[in-house]
Structure 1
Amino acid sequence: MNRTPYAILDAEENVVAVLLGKPVEGEERDPEKRWDAAIERLAHKFEAARTKRGRKFAAGLKNHRRGKYTASSFGVSYGGGQKRPGNLAMSADHREMVEEFRTDEDLGRVAGWQSNGFASYGPKGYDSMVSALDRLYDSQPELQRNFPNSAYPCATANLGPNTVCLAHNDCSNFPSFPCAVTPFGSFDPDKGGQLILYDLKVKIRFPSGSTILLPSAGMRHGNVPIQAGERRYSFTQYCPGGLMRWVRHGLQPAWKLSPATRSRLDGEGGEGWQAQLRTLSKYSELAADRAWLVEREAARLSRG
Structure 2
Amino acid sequence: MPGSPDMRVYEWQGEPTPVVDADNLLFFALGGFPDDQPGRSWDEEVAKPAAKDIRATAVDIYTEPRWLRKRRARNGESVPRRGPHAAKTIGISMGGGQTHPQNTAHSARLHQLLTNLLALQSIQRIAGWTNSNHYANPPPVLFMAFAKQLHSFYEKELRSVCEHDPRTIRNFPARLSVFSMVTINFGPATVTFPHIDYRNLAWGWCAITALGNYNPDLGGHLVLWDLKLIIRFPPGSTILIPSAILRHSNTTIQANETRFSFTQFTPAGLFRWVYNKFRTDADIDKSKTTTPAEHEQRKKDRARRWDEGVNMYTRWQGPVSTV
Q: TM-score range by the shorter chain?
A: 0.7 to 0.9
Structure 1 position 28, deviation (Å): 2.8
CA distance in 1, matches of 2:229, 2:125: 29
List aligned pairs for 1:287-302, cutoff 5 A.
Answer: none
2:316 maps to: 283
1:301 maps to: none
Q: Bigger CA drift: 178-187 or 257-266?
A: 257-266
State whether residues 63 and 70 of structure 1, in contact with CA within 8 Å, keep that contact through their aligned partners in structure 2: no
List aligned pairs for 1:100-111, cutoff 5 A.
Answer: 100-111=116-127
Which string of whole-angstrom CA distances, capped at 9 and with x for unpartnered residues, describes residues 11-56 of structure 1?
1111111011111121233x5xx44432111212211111127758
Structure 1 position 268, deviation (Å): 4.0
Q: Which amino acid aligns with 1:190?
A: D
Q: Which amino acid aligns with 2:162?
A: Y
The secondary structure found in structure 2 opposite 1:110 is: helix
RMSD of aligned residue pairs (Cα, Å): 2.4
Instruction: Normalising by structure 2, report the TM-score.
Output: 0.81
Which string of whole-angstrom CA distances, capped at 9 and with x for unpartnered residues, describes residues 51-87 of structure 1?
1277588989994111010111000010112111000
The secondary structure found in structure 2 opposite 1:52 is: helix
State whether residues 93 and 270 of structure 2, in contact with CA within 8 Å, keep that contact through their aligned partners in structure 1: yes
Q: Bigger CA drift: 54-63 or 231-240?
A: 54-63
Structure 1 position 120, deviation (Å): 1.1
CA distance in 2, matches of 1:110, 1:267: 39
CA distance in 2, matches of 1:78, 1:249: 13
Pairs aligned (count): 282
Which string of whole-angstrom CA distances, capped at 9 and with x for unpartnered residues, describes residues 131-189 of structure 1?
11111111100111111111111111111101111110000001122110011111111
Unmatched 5+ stretches in structure 1: 286-304
CA distance in 2, matches of 1:133, 1:233: 27
Q: Which amino acid aligns with 1:141?
A: P
State whether residues 47 and 211 of structure 2, in contact with CA within 8 Å, keep that contact through their aligned partners in structure 1: yes
Structure 1 position 264, deviation (Å): 2.5
Q: Bigger CA drift: 88-97 or 35-44?
A: 35-44
Which string of whole-angstrom CA distances, capped at 9 and with x for unpartnered residues, describes residues 268-300 of structure 1?
477843122122111129xxxxxxxxxxxxxxx
Distance verdict in 2 for CA 1:266–1:12, change over 3 Å: farther
1:302 maps to: none
Distance verdict in 2 for CA 1:173–1:92, change over 3 Å: same
What is the aligned counterpart of 2:277 among 250, 270, 285?
A: 250
1:136 maps to: 161
Distance verdict in 2 for CA 1:62–1:188, change over 3 Å: farther
Q: Which has the higher helix share?
A: 1
List aligned pairs for 1:267-278, cutoff 5 A.
Answer: 267-268=300-301, 272-278=305-311
In the alignment, structure 1 residue 44 sits paired with structure 2 residue 52: yes
1:112 maps to: 128
What is the aligned counterpart of 1:224 among 238, 244, 251?
A: 251
CA distance in 2, matches of 1:146, 1:11: 36
CA distance in 2, matches of 1:284, 1:246: 34
1:166 maps to: 193
In the alignment, structure 1 residue 239 sits paired with structure 2 residue 266: yes
Give 1 or 2 for the bigger CA radius of gyration: 2
